[in-house]
Structure 1
Amino acid sequence: MSFYSQVADEQGVFKDNDLQVKLVPVQTSAQALSAMLSGSLDLAPGTPDPFVLAKAKGSDLRAVAATTQETVFQIIAGSKHVDAGGDLKARTEALKGKSVAVYGRGNASDRFVDFLFDAVDITGEPVYVIAGASKTVAAFLAGKVDFASDTVQVANLLEAAGKGGTYINCATDGYPTGYEGDKQMYWTTGKFADANPEALRRFIKAMDDTQEWVQDAANEERSSPT
């Protein structure tokens, strides 16, 4: 489930756009895609990989709203590393040879790590551990990983538990040019889009309104998931 949809629900953005929305928790983009194709979800959030692949295989899918304007992933660190100083290159170099949790190889999460290494001209790579979302949190709590490429929600959960937090956030740490990131988007089926054009228009407007709310500095603390 997207952090932005939670904000839209809690702050009344869906209601303001005349939408009745039921949020259904899912752990990964692949699970969201499967639920949508089975008909149990009307719209599903996720990074592009599984949706583009399914579309290439013939599924009638449409990307309808971007829920982030920057890459959805951050580099998260456990307590041992989270407060390490240094510039972007030094912090990226600290990942080399360390365990880094990602959603899968060839996925958006490990692409982000690979890009950082290339952008700051560091050879080598981390030791990738397949995890993601709740599995990433569990891996940190068990001391199985040093870092992760995951979302702000995971970083906040670790910080709340006193076990780590955000290590590199390219939205604020001046990440290198040449990479726009893998944005999280909402997807739907052609069947739903054709049958509900007005509801879809209002949903897109709600996501735009939510992005504006989250980016407002006055709402910074209120927009952090608990």
Structure 2
Amino acid sequence: MDYEPKYTVIMRGQEFVLTKSQIEFDSPNYFSSCFLGDFREAQSRSLELCRNPDLFRIIVEYLCGYEVLPLNDKLLPSFMSTKMGLENLRIDALFYQLEGLVKACETFAKPRISHRVPKMSFMLLGYTTWNTNILSDTAPRGISVSEIEYLRPENDHWHTIVTEDAFARIERLRSPESYNDLQGFRIVAAMEGYTRKMAGNYRQNGWKLVGWRIEDVADQGNLRATEILVVLAGVVTPKD
């Protein structure tokens, strides 16, 4: 085996040995200039610097061709966070003129953009009312605003969260966008107020009213039931 020259780097009293192939890795750099140029260190094969030895251990691994990012916090000085360690490693890489390591640190420091597609989730709010005339042939647009405003669903409603696939199977929903006249806007406002009685300030919590369904169901004796279903939509971004 051919003999490979070795060079000593002293960091705050701690000695590190670099081979010629390590010095030539990511060159030209500070070490190739000192040890392979015309400086006196080329004769002594020794260099003393007052840089951080813990960070230099990481750089020695880099000069061996290893991946050193992301940083392992166990390799960093106790006073350095991982973020601080990455920035200080970049500073040392600049000092040692290790262009490849500088670029790697800068790339790793950039905020990572998630490419996961946000998914929609839907909240269903259901309520049954008895002997009301919400659906009325005599009311404008067939829905009585005063009857909706009279409802008190706070304690007797149910709710659940469903996926986008389940939402797609819900039929006969009326959306706020389906109304474009004065009476229609009153109906939308009434349904928004009705929804707040069950879900509080749902908009502030990231939900949007997407629709509702109101239908009379079979009588039970002298009682007539009306089922009201409200659907809210929210965006959930999957975690990386």
* Structure label with greater radius of gyration: 2
Identify the structure with bigger relative contact order (alpha carbons < 8 Å, sequence gap 6+): 1
Point out the structure with the larger strand share: 2
Point out the structure with the larger helix share: 1
TM-score bin (small chain): under 0.3
Query: Please, what TM-score do these two structures have when normalized by structure 2?
Result: 0.18
Query: Please, what TM-score do these two structures have when normalized by structure 1?
Result: 0.19
